[in-house]
């Protein structure tokens, strides 16, 4: 059996094909996400931040970590979303010195609209039997190192 190290030196044809397909899925997802964001007059970064905040309020530093960018960039994005009434800043109940960014009701509505407009992967996945979707989910989780 090949070890992860030896497998990384000489990928087989199937592995190469899967990697290529994953790349195509990611590219198509990003393309559709950018189009969906533009449909709401948002940039991709604004849409990603709004989607994160629709799940829970977060401090700027954690937003920056999740978006893999500098906190100063997050501040500018939050400023623009706040000006549109999609995001608000509020004190963190656990530490009043920290400000949380939170989606407003309108922001959550826009975030839902973004998710609903992403049909590229959702529609083909819905056509797969549950067993295949579970297997795909589990394989992706293993690839990402997430057992849960």
- Structure confidence by residue, pLDDT tens digits, 59-80: 999 999 999 999 889 999 999 9
pLDDT of residue 147: 53
pLDDT over threshold 70, residue 4: no
- Closest Cα partner for 49 from 92, 93, 1, 82? 82
User: In the chain, pLDDT over 90 holds for what percent of residues?
Assistant: 66
Could you tell me the two tokens for 83? 């000006």
> What is the residue-averaged pLDDT of the chain?
89
pLDDT of residue 8: 56
Which value, to the nearest 10 degrees, does the dihedral of the CA atoms of residues 132, 138, 142, 147 take?
Answer: -170
pLDDT of residue 78: 96
pLDDT of residue 5: 54
Q: Residue 33: which region, alpha, beta or left (left: phi > 0; alpha: psi -120 to 50)?
A: alpha
pLDDT of residue 141: 93
Q: Return the biggest CA–CA distance within the chain.
A: 57
pLDDT over threshold 80, residue 121: no
Could you tell me which residues are beta bridge partners of residue 58? 101
Whether the model clears a pTM of 0.85, i.e. scores above it, the answer is no
Give the full edge-to-edge strand order of the sheet including 95-103: 58-59, 95-103, 87-92
pLDDT over threshold 80, residue 111: yes
């Amino acid at each position: 059996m090949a070890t992860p190290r030896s497998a990384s030196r000489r990928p087989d044809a199937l592995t190469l094909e899967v990697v290529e397909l994953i790349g195509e899925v990611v590219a198509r997802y990003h393309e559709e996400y950018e189009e969906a964001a533009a449909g709401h007059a948002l940039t991709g970064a604004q849409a990603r931040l709004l989607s994160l905040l629709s799940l829970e309020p977060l401090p700027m530093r954690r937003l920056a970590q999740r978006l893999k960018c500098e906190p100063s960039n997050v501040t500018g994005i939050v400023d623009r979303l706040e000006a549109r009434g999609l995001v608000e800043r509020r004190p963190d109940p656990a530490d009043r010195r920290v400000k949380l960014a939170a989606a407003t009701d309108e922001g959550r509505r826009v975030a839902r609209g973004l998710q609903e407009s992403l049909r590229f992967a959702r529609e083909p996945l819905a056509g797969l039997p549950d067993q295949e979707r579970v297997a795909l989910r589990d394989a992706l989780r293993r690839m990402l190192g997430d057992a849960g």
